[in-house]
Structure 1
Amino acid sequence: MRDISRRTGLTAAAAALFTGAAATSSPASASPAAAASGPAGRTRSRRTLQRGVDAILATGVSGVLAEVQDAHGRTTARAGVADLDAAAKEPVPWDAYYRIGSDTKTFTATVVLQLVGEGRLKLTDTVERWLPGAIRGHGNDGRRITVTNLLRQTSGLNDYINGDSGEFTPDGYRRNRFRSQSPKEQLAAALDRPPEWLPDADDPAGERHWGYSNTNYIVAGMLVEAVTGHPWAQEVHERIIEPLGLRGTFTPGTSSYVPRPTATGYTYFPEQTRPTETTLGYGGGADGALISTTHDHGVFLRALLGGRLLRPAQLAAMKTTVPVRDWIPADGVRYGMGIAWRPVAGRADGIWFHGGTSLGCVSEGGVTPDGATAVTAAAFTLRLDDAETHERQARVTLRMVDEALRPGAG
Structure 2
Amino acid sequence: MSHPTSSPGTPPRPGHRTHPLAGPAAPAIALLTSLGIVVVGQMYTVLALLHPMALSLNTTPQQVTWTATAFGIAYAAGFLIAGPLTDRYGPRAVMVTGMVAATVSTAAAGTAPDLTWAVVLRVVQGLTAAAFAPAAFSYIAHHIAPQRRAIALACVTSGMLGAAVLMQIAAQAVAAGPGWRAVFLISALLMALSLLPVRRLLRPTPHRGTDDGLLQAFAAMSQLLRRGRLVALYAATVTLMAGFVAVYTAVTVAGPPGIAGHPIAILALRASALPALIAVPQLAPALSRLAAPMRLALALSLAAIALAAASVLDGHPILLAMALLPFVAAVATAAPAVVETVNATAARARGAAVAPHACSMFIGASLGPQLAGALTEHGFGSLRVTAAGLLLGAALMLSALRHQDSQ
Q: Larger helix proportion, structure 1 or 2?
A: 2
Q: Verify same fold: TM over 0.5.
A: no
TM-score by length of 1: 0.28
TM-score by length of 2: 0.28
Q: Larger strand proportion, structure 1 or 2?
A: 1
